[in-house]
Copies of this chain bind each other. A is one copy, B any other.
């Protein structure tokens, strides 16, 4: 089972100049073979299918726990894409000739899709879960390497602040997973995978948007994403970081994260409606009927920002 926390793992900038073509490229990090849906689903299925997990608990805990962080990464890529698409349909929909992925607007509501940068849907063939522990961990190390490659290239290709903040962060956290799987393989076999770092062979600190996270030590910490479980990750995630030599440490809780920006309606794509104020009015009445406070209980980064809309609605229904 999972519990959801309504926060992003890191802060993303609010919408600025829209960049639909860039958003189409960022899709590779969501639904590509080496995207976050792949890391999430690979580790999730490996944890579901893990046999004899009591005997191999530290490894089971590692895979299951990293799977949980990957969900946050899927969420973060989606949020970045949604940010980049915000405003693109403000004066009518963009012209087809300006788009790489028209489905962002025709199928979605100026929003992320489970697809890669060519508009091809993610599929279950991208999951490798053989049940052979050493093999699956070796695979995971490679998968993170491929993911790092994609992130570096999307960083270079797309200049939008949301894309840069996203990739800067993911490079650091993906790097932690690379290290974790390398350590696991090392523990099981003695093979010194630390020699393969960095892979690709460009140090993360060359990326300014990664540096801020490196300075906070995010490259050497593994968070425990569970109230009570997965405590044995400490048995694997330890020793020196392969690039910096710093101690690898386990943080015994999830990161604090940041509230998401509540992205504004895009009425031309009916998200959440052609006339969102009607939905707002209904929501307000339901909220009151249920004895909830007048103000929404959710925490978002920009309560003030679109408060005006909320205010307008409150006037309308009062």
Judging by beta carbons under 8 Å apart, are A270 and B131 in contact?
yes
Contacts of A132 in B (CB 8 A): 109, 149, 199-200, 269-273
Judging by beta carbons under 8 Å apart, are A191 and B188 in contact?
no
Min distance, Cβ A135 to any Cβ of chain B, angstroms: 6
- New A-B contacts (10) at CB < 8 Å, excluding given A55-B283, A121-B125: A24-B96, A25-B99, A55-B277, A59-B272, A115-B118, A115-B124, A120-B121, A189-B196, A202-B274, A235-B283
Docked Cα-Cα span, A265 to B131, in Å, equals 9
**Can you name the residue of chain B whose Cβ is closest to the Cβ of A257?**
B1
Contacts of A49 in B (CB 8 A): 78, 82, 108-109, 111-112, 271
Contacts of A39 in B (CB 8 A): none
Q: Does A227 contact B (CB under 8 A)?
A: yes
Judging by beta carbons under 8 Å apart, are A22 and B96 in contact?
yes
From the candidates B53, B130, B291, B306, name the one contacting A107 in the complex (CB within 8 A): B130
Judging by beta carbons under 8 Å apart, are A263 and B130 in contact?
no
User: Which residues, 95 to 148 on A, are CB-close (under 8 Å) to B?
Assistant: 95-103, 105-135, 138-139, 142, 145-146
Q: Does A262 contact B (CB under 8 A)?
A: yes
CB within 8 Å for A280 and B154 given contacts A96-B21, A116-B103: no
Contacts of A118 in B (CB 8 A): 101-103, 115, 118-120
CB within 8 Å for A234 and B292 given contacts A6-B229, A49-B78, A201-B270: yes
